[in-house]
Amino acid sequence: MKENSSPLTILFGGEMIRAKLVDGTEVDCFIRAMPIRAMGDVLARAEDQAGLVELCTYLHAAAGEDSPAGAPAGMCPVQRGWADNLTADSFFALHEAATRLNFTTAVTWATAQISAKKTVGPLFDATIRQISPMVDRIIQPLLARIKNLSDSAPNPLPPSDSAVKKS
């Protein structure tokens, strides 16, 4: 495992919890306070308890294994399905920590997203109202030319039986 000695090393908030797997094995888990950029993922798992646990849980990396980008140094995220191996008590302890560490921030983030959309929405609508007439002035002549070209072009298809019967 490589040590990340960069002065730009990110400090990760969270807490260590010892969890028990169904086979009796105990493992130290780091439950991460997720970064702001992951709050949409946190909220997407609001009703998926196992998914939230798996999103926020990291284990110590194996000897010689580097941490993936975005993971705390010396840690690796758990894989999908990992939470199925936890005892019920350990699962709920990890879920409680993931919720406590992330949901207040996620709700604040979501409120800010809604506020931003309320601000940008009317601006977008006003922009569309101003641009639409200009786009129409450009598009309408082009559409008229295309229609004229298609009306004056010879018909490459032979007349159908229904067209012949109408004559």
The dihedral over CA atoms of 47, 84, 31, 8, expressed in degrees to the nearest 10, equals -100
Q: Rounded to an integer, what distance in angstroms lies between the CA atom of residue 54 and that of residue 146?
A: 56
DSSP helix/strand/coil, 58: strand
Please say if the pLDDT value at position 69 is more than 70: yes
- Give CA–CA dist 27/20, Å, rounded: 6
Specify the amino acid at residue 138. I
* Residue count of the chain: 167
Per-residue model confidence (pLDDT) at position 166: 54
CB 4 within 8 A of CB 66: no
Closest by CA to 42, choosing from 4, 98, 124, 82, is: 98
Q: Is the pTM of this model over 0.75?
A: no
pLDDT tens readout for residues 14-56:
999 999 999 999 999 999 999 999 999 999 999 999 999 999 9
Domain boundaries, the chain: 14-118
State the amino acid at position 20 in one-letter form.
Answer: K
Q: Is the pLDDT of residue 5 over 50?
A: no
d(C-alpha 3, C-alpha 9), whole Å = 10
pLDDT tens-digit readout, 96-107:
999 999 999 999
Of all residues in the chain, the percent with pLDDT exceeding 90 is: 50
